[in-house]
Each structure stands twice: as structure tokens, then as C-alpha cells.
Amino acid sequence: MAVGSPVTSRFGWIDFADDDRQRMLDILKLFAVRDTRDELGIGTVRNAFADYFFPGTTTIQTRARYFLMVPWVYQEAARRGSANEWSGARLAQEADDLERKLIGALEKGGETDGVIGARAGRRVQRLPSSVYWPGSGVLGIRRFPGSQSDLSRWLSRSFRRDAVAAQPHGSETDTEAEERPDLIWHGSLPGVPANLFGACKLALTGSEAEFLRERVRFSHPHSLFAAFLEVDSQPVDQDFVWEHPLIWAVDKATQQAVEDARRFSLIVHGAALLYNLMLAEKWCERIGDDGKDRIAGYRDALQQWSAVIAIEWQELRPWCAAPEYLWASPGLREWRSIPSTRAFVSRWFAVLSGCSIPAEVTEVPDARALIRERELFLKHASRARLHNPDALRRWSGAAGTGRLAFRWDTARTLIRDIWDGINSREGA
């Protein structure tokens, strides 16, 4: 953002005087890294909305082709293990080795963006299969219902069954699922590329992209994920999904869920900022150093947050006063209500609705008590920064300060990958 330009929000323009602009830039630097860690225990609500919008995704997914690479790894491991009747443990080790080999293959293919394990190499702790396994089931790419270790054991048993069946008096009691390994994965899964473990790319071919597109559209046809794959409406610069014009074209229930998520994100952002203001104040009180001007920075951030809400406070205030509107959202139909989380959010809404302007919440004793109680409940005395000086010293200066985006960053990367593949000529 250029110095001297107004700060824009979804709702309008907010101008700052010249002597406030440098401080505003300092505030923006505080939030330069979108830190959306769940410091106040609202992650289950956030995830319910995210699952409704973008089923099968997680924040740690990087590129769409991994949805195919994971099945290919297990197909190759099964092919190698079949001839030798490997045990489940041996098969699992082969799949592990192949996943680590993928890191080098992607490096040889010239990939740098989104490679899982690019820094750690073969020592990487979290492999792609653990990241994409749940989503592959949600999208119907994986039909086998169990875990990775379950699959390894099942394949090992199938090797022995196949060997027995090949004998003159082999068993004839196997079920159809046991006889048909294609039931592990969707029948239209694209074949394993010839050079997958030599030098490969993360870009999807046309046929691979079409497969993923159809999996999303067929398994979750009413999701935003599917809507973005209906027409080539590539998300480019929007920071939040509700800023994309496609939202105006989706069904009313989805529009309502998006609006509820937008409001929830906006309202609870104030709680996160107040929490960090209280940490800054506690830091100054106990440690005696506010050289980075964090207190003033968070007070200014809360004023900015208040100014954005004030533009629609007439509509938002009654919505906050009646949190049942949020809990009835279409986006939370699958949310498994947690009483403590529901109580915290409802109390925050209620406290805020009692303010004539949102900025007043900063000095409301009930609001501050609510934040203190919530942190203590979640982290207990040993890790609660507002209660434990040692825990406070580990505060980086910004804890969970980013607005909730409901996996939009991940989703738009996956959507771009799929559309780039569809629009490519390779494998069409």
C-alpha cells in the first residue's frame, strides 16, 4: 500500500490524517504474516464453515496434484509388494520411501512452489499422504475407508489371498472388494505417470485436472469449491472469498453461509486484537519494556477494526445481540457444538452488542474478564500468557491476529491448479 493512500475495506473508505499514516504502516507490519492460530479456541467453528465451503481441504495442503500423487505412491508400492507378498509393515515402509523420493523428483522437475519437504528433504516429518489422506476420502478419490496403515495391512492380506487363489484349491470365499483392488481408489483415477519418481511436475495435465474437477463437482455439488470449478472464475487478488463476484451467483443458502462467516470473522477479530492488547499491557507491566510500541499499535488496530464495523453497526449490532442467528447458519449445520466454545462466542457477541460503538469494548471489564477466563480455560495456568510470566515471555508480539479466511488461501491455489490444467494442452 502506498504511503498517503486511504485504507480500503470491504465496506468503504477509511481515511487517516498524515501524522497517523506511519503508525498505520507499523500496524500493518505487525500483521504482515497472516497469523490465524486458534488462540481463543474457536477453531471448530472456523473449520465447520471451511468444510462447508471447501470440503476435502486443509490449511496445510499446498498443490492439487498431491491428491493424485498419494494414490499413485500406494499403487506403485502395491505393485512392487505384490510379487513378493510383502507384509503390511514392509509395504508401509515402501510407500514412505516413495513419498520421500518424490521430493527429489519434484526438485529435478524444477518445482519450487508448494513442494512438501522442499526444505527438510527426505527428513521431512509430515508426508503428503498424511496431509491429503482425509481429503481424498471426502472427495471420493479414495474409496478405501480406513487409515494408511489399515490399507497397508489390507493390501498385504490381499497379496496372500491372491497367492492362495492361484493354487488349484484356492479359497472362493473372498468378497468382491477383496478381489477388486480398483475399489481402493476411484475407477477413473488417472494412471501413474511414467517418470513420477524420476523428474516430475506439480502442474496437472488436462485429464488429471478434469478428474479432480469432476470429483469435487460430483461429491459436493453445492459447495463453493464446486461453484468455482463450474466456470473459469479464477480467484486472483481477493483476500477473502466473500470479495469474489462469483458469490453473487451461488444459491441463497450458500450466500447466507458466506455472509455469516464474513460477520463471524469480523466480529471475533476484535477478540483476537483485544487479547493481544492485553498481552502487550501485561508485558509492559511485568517486563517493563514496550520499545516496539505494541500497546499503541494494538489500540490503533482496534480503532481501525471498530471503524470498519461502525459502517454497518446498525445491522451487525442486533445480529450480535442474537447469536442464535449465527448458530443457525447453513454453514454450521455439520458443526458438532462444543458448549464452552458456543458460550465464549455468544458472550463475546453479547458484550460487543452492548457497546454503542465497537471501540468501547476495549475498556469493558466483562470483555477483558472473558478473554482472561477463556485463555486460562484453554491453556491452564502453565501456558496462559496472561497468568504466567514465563509463558508471556514466549509471546512473539502477535498471537492469532489475522482475520479468519476459512481456508481461502488454500482453496484458491487448488482451484488455480485445476483450471490451469484444464486450460493446458498437455494430456487433454
The pLDDT tens digits for 26-43 are: 444 444 445 668 999 999
Q: Please provide the average confidence, as pLDDT, over all residues in the chain.
A: 86
182 and 134 both lie in a single domain = yes
306 and 191 both lie in a single domain = no
124 and 169 both lie in a single domain = yes
> If DSSP codes are grouped into helix, strand and coil, which group holds residue 14?
strand
CA dihedral 108, 111, 195, 425 (to 10 degrees): -140
What pLDDT, on a 0 to 100 scale, did the predictor assign at position 122?
Answer: 85
Task: For residue 413, tell me if it sits in a domain.
Answer: no
Task: For residue 426, tell me if it sits in a domain.
Answer: no
What pLDDT, on a 0 to 100 scale, did the predictor assign at position 158?
Answer: 86
- For the record, the C-alpha cell of 308 comes out as 470498519
14 and 83 both lie in a single domain = no
What pLDDT, on a 0 to 100 scale, did the predictor assign at position 181?
Answer: 47
Q: How many domains does the chain fold into? A: 2
What pLDDT, on a 0 to 100 scale, did the predictor assign at position 289?
Answer: 74
73 and 15 both lie in a single domain = no
pLDDT band at 220 (very low <50, low <70, confident <90, very high): very high
Residue 347, classified by CB atoms within 10 Å of its CB into exposed (0-12), middle (13-18) or buried (19+), is middle
C-alpha distances (whole Å) from 332 to each of 29, 45, 257, 411 are 33, 7, 8, 19
Higher pLDDT, residue 121 or 417 = 417
Contact between residue 238 and residue 230 where contact means Cβ atoms under 8 Å apart = no
| Enclosing domain of residue 388 | 7-57+251-393
Whether residue 17 is predicted with pLDDT greater than 60 in this model: the reply is: no
111 and 12 both lie in a single domain = no
Task: For residue 82, tell me if it sits in a domain.
Answer: yes
256 and 380 both lie in a single domain = yes
Q: CB neighbours of 220 closer than 8 A, spacing ≥ 6?
A: 55, 56, 138, 139, 226
Distance CA 280, CA 392 (A): 9
Closest to 421 in 3D by CA, of 109, 228, 214, 205: 205
Report pLDDT digits (tens) over 221-234: 999 999 999 987 66
Q: CB neighbours of 376 closer than 8 A, spacing ≥ 6?
A: 384, 386, 387
